[in-house]
Amino acid sequence: MGQDQLFFGQEFLIFRYHCVPLARLPTEEYVETSPLGAALSALMSSKGQDRAALMAAMMGRVSGGGLNDVLKHLLVDVIKTYLVLTPEEVERYRQFLARKEFRDVQEVELTWSERLIEQGLERGREAGIVEGKRKAVLRQLSAKFGRTPEAVTARTEGMTEADLDSVLDRILTATTFDDLGFGD
């Protein structure tokens, strides 16, 4: 290593790279090149273009590009993150999606992050249903037997949805906590 690559007697790395200013490139030249080109087009100049049609073309190229679902959704996220449409453009984009030729786009229209959010909401709904059943069991136990022992309350907290359903099914005919499976 030469002297010009030393700093206070220490070696350091020199990086050389080329920069491609995507924002200066014309979008229309790259949309149809490849799914990656379509996604990167969202970073390019789209002045004077129908941005709703442009997004539909980008999404069409990504959805029909033969990629696996993970790659499709990553590229869709890039497009939706960097090509932000106005409310009017969103409406026009929705009109494009209603066409037959955009059926593939409709399938990938939900971005990966939106799907994760939907999955989280579904899990939350399921947890809410279980919690509601747990509260119903405790309320019915209290109404039927009076004070509910802490051991029964604690055991109820650990029950699955199927266990809670079983208790709810038997609570009307039960005469003791043992009849419900709360005995030791």
**Does pTM surpass 0.85?**
no
pLDDT tier at 111 (50, 70, 90 boundaries)? low
Indicate the domain borders of the chain: 22-109, 114-180
Report in angstroms the alpha-carbon separations of 20 from 29, 40, 134: 15, 12, 59
- 113-143: per-residue pLDDT in tens? 677 788 889 999 999 999 999 999 999 999 9
Contact between residue 58 and residue 41 where contact means Cβ atoms under 8 Å apart: yes
Residue 2 has pLDDT above 60, yes or no: no
pLDDT tier at 184 (50, 70, 90 boundaries)? low
Contact between residue 179 and residue 170 where contact means Cβ atoms under 8 Å apart: yes
- 26-63: per-residue pLDDT in tens? 787 788 788 888 888 888 887 888 889 988 988 888 88
Sequence-distant (≥ 6) Cβ neighbours of residue 170 within 8 angstroms: 179, 180
pLDDT average, residue stretch 13-35: 81
For the record, the structure tokens of 164 come out as 């809670």
Report in angstroms the alpha-carbon separations of 110 from 16, 17, 30, 60, 62: 39, 35, 23, 13, 13
